[in-house]
A and B are shown apart, each in its own frame.
Chain A
């Protein structure tokens, strides 16, 4: 079991990395009027067959060969559903996968969102060959991190170079603080 939603996001985004996605879109949106926290992870990776999609929320299903259980998606699904929210996963072979978890924002069973700065920073700096489009919003405020913009400015994908890595961390930290943390 994860203790923060941001850890589920990090874990499930690793599936997109392994699916050889070149673009991973992550969005986190807190809406106090609708009382919802919506998390979407979308990739353009290899996708899954219909049978795999049917089985993927089963804890005893995995594509790994090292062992026969996989808990990433079941954890994510359970974390949303215990709040009275919902979970969907759609995938198409050769096109990609979209995972959506909707939480009831005010539910006492909703885990804190946790440290999204660490989650996004480690994804971006550890997978410099992949582009990330991250959107965080809280009611009418929002910000976007798009590594394609960074790549264009830098003329390279050197996101793991100390100066650039520090910039990305501060960019995330300051923007998260500015948009507010309704999801804590």
Chain B
């Protein structure tokens, strides 16, 4: 069973580290829609998959945040990726299985995964 003693140990460990993460360095923002429509469509595991992947890969310049309903409920779960220059990509009907590909291709290499974007969904 986890105890609060462990949290004390984590605090001690953190004290010795230089804080390499600061909000200003969050060059990329991943925004997950978490209103009723998003949650009902499966946004919670998508949010968890993004947070876990960003932590596991130690992507200090990526912030995963949540938002409400963006008014496109039929396309939920929706994930918007904002680059530092303000460029926005909207991924629709996102599943946890798509998360690693979006991180590898788009967030790390800078290539939008076109097959999952709203523009492609509207064509299909």
Cβ-neighbour of B71 out of A7, A67, A75, A126 (below 8 A): A67
Shortest CB distance A115–B (Å): 8
Cβ-neighbour of A153 out of B8, B36, B37, B51 (below 8 A): B8
Whether A95 sits at the interface, judged by CB under 8 Å, is no
> Which residues of B are in contact with A by a Cβ distance under 8 Å?
1-2, 4, 6-8, 10-11, 13-14, 21, 34-37, 39-40, 44-45, 47-48, 51, 55, 58, 65-66, 68-71
CA distance A155 to B35 in the complex (A): 31
Give chain B's interface secondary structure class: helix
Q: Known A10-B39, A126-B66; judge A163-B1 contact (CB<8 A).
A: no
The reply to whether A174 and B2 contact each other, CB–CB distance below 8 Å, is yes
Mask: chain A, 89-108; 1 = CB below 8 Å from B; 0 = not: 00000000000000000000
The reply to whether B69 and A11 contact each other, CB–CB distance below 8 Å, is no
Q: Which A residues, 10 to 66, have Cβ-Cβ distances below 8 Å to chain B?
A: 10-11, 14, 18, 64, 66
CA distance A71 to B69 in the complex (A): 12
The reply to whether A154 and B45 contact each other, CB–CB distance below 8 Å, is no
The reply to whether A178 and B1 contact each other, CB–CB distance below 8 Å, is yes
The reply to whether B7 and A167 contact each other, CB–CB distance below 8 Å, is yes
Whether A125 sits at the interface, judged by CB under 8 Å, is yes
Cβ-neighbour of B65 out of A72, A126, A165 (below 8 A): A126
The reply to whether A167 and B6 contact each other, CB–CB distance below 8 Å, is yes
Q: Which residues of A contact B65 (CB under 8 A)?
A: 126
Q: Which residues of B contact A66 (CB under 8 A)?
A: 69-71
Whether A181 sits at the interface, judged by CB under 8 Å, is no
